[in-house]
Amino acid sequence: MTRANEPIMINKTLVKNRLTMAPTVKFDYAGEDGKVTEKHIEHYRERAEHGCGLICVEATAVTPGGRFGKNHMGLWDDSQTDGHKRIVEACHNAGAAVIIQLNHAGLNSNPELGEQIAPSAVPTRNENVLSRELSIDEIHAIQEKYADAAVRAQKAGYDGVQLHACHSYLINQFVSKKTNLRADEYGGSVENRARFGAEIIRMIRERCGADFLISARTVGIEPDVATAIEIAEEYVKAGCDYLQVSTGIEWNDPSLKEEGEPYNLICKLGVLFHEHFKGRVPVSCVNGIMTPELVRYLIENELVDTVDFGRAILADPAICEAVLDGAPYVKCFECPRCQYGPAMPHKCPAALKRMKA
């Protein structure tokens, strides 16, 4: 039986336990220059010091125009690298492995920052405005931006990178038939729709070497689980080392049902992916994982390889110590609208409670 405190090797990166921090954007921490701030460094340092095995730093823009807000952290320029070195140093000093999520928001980019581009001309969040369809040359240029950002991440000392390939952002927009209407080599079949992300993985592998950890936060359903697994297979064939499973644009699989499990349907996607990829590629699950008991259940029953904390580790980083050695912690209040989210300033009631304790 696997235990939550057992290490796991992902590619050549040793992760000291099975607890990981999901990438959750701190919307008021960065400035318009996209640079790391002291708030970022302390935020990740605290989670590492409380025992998290692997930190995935929040969605980080690969181009200025690909941001979803003016205060979105970036790695599109060499001048941004020094701040990331300090995040890495803080995490490594506390014994945590650390990767960074690379992102382009595509048609969900902030229109104040540039054109809203996408695989095809489809409605943006403003349904009266269509995105602009990318040319082949533009697709290749954006792929280069991902690879350039990965090289900067490696120079900053990160153990690897994660591609943000879900949650309706650009890589997800390529794999979804709702947003990809193309008839060329980037549209149509599963292989073609996954090509954009798979080619980025190959480029990163070529430039950063065999030992660099490459993860994809991939769709668990698009429009069904079987298709989503086919998409992930393309990423694995391209050299992806680690699948961290979440949601995408579509959710049309009637076979995905609650069957009395102690975890929700989003978390179940990770469990289903683990069944498919077991022994080949480590798989992580996420969403609604708020208690040490559920983490232990998922790991000890070998339903997944690692567990991603989101709101629970924001509310109190001591959730990690609670899993590992039974230490006390403040449980996430599960607010309908997470108070660590875009509603600023941060006013998470659980975090405030632990600060007063």
Q: Does residue 169 carry a catalytic annotation?
A: yes
Bridge partners of residue 54, in order along the sequence = 20, 97
Helices (H), ranges, 190-264: 190-193, 195-208, 225-238
Which of 169, 263, 329, 340 is an active site residue? Answer: 169
In the three-class reduction of DSSP (H, G, I as helix; E, B as strand; rest coil), residue 106 is classed as helix
Question: Angle at CA 298, nearest 5°, toward 9 and 282?
Answer: 30
> Using CA of residue 180, residue 214, residue 143, residue 157, what is the dihedral sign?
positive
Query: Quick check: 283 and 212 in contact, CB under 8 A?
Result: no
> Rounded to an integer, what distance in angstroms lies between the CA atom of residue 171 and that of residue 184?
16
Residue bearing tokens 């289903």: 272
Kind of pairing, strands 19-21 and 306-309? parallel
With a CB cutoff of 8 Å and minimum separation 6, the contacts of 202 are 238, 239
With a CB cutoff of 8 Å and minimum separation 6, the contacts of 330 are 315, 316, 318, 350, 351, 353, 354, 357
Go through the chain and tell me how many residues it has: 357
Tokens standing for residue 329: 């912690």
Query: Quick check: 247 and 166 in contact, CB under 8 A?
Result: yes
Helices (H), ranges, the chain: 38-49, 81-93, 136-156, 170-175, 190-193, 195-208, 225-238, 265-277, 292-300, 311-315, 319-325, 349-356
> Rounded to an integer, what distance in angstroms lies between the CA atom of residue 285 and that of residue 350?
23
DSSP 128: T
Active site residues: 169
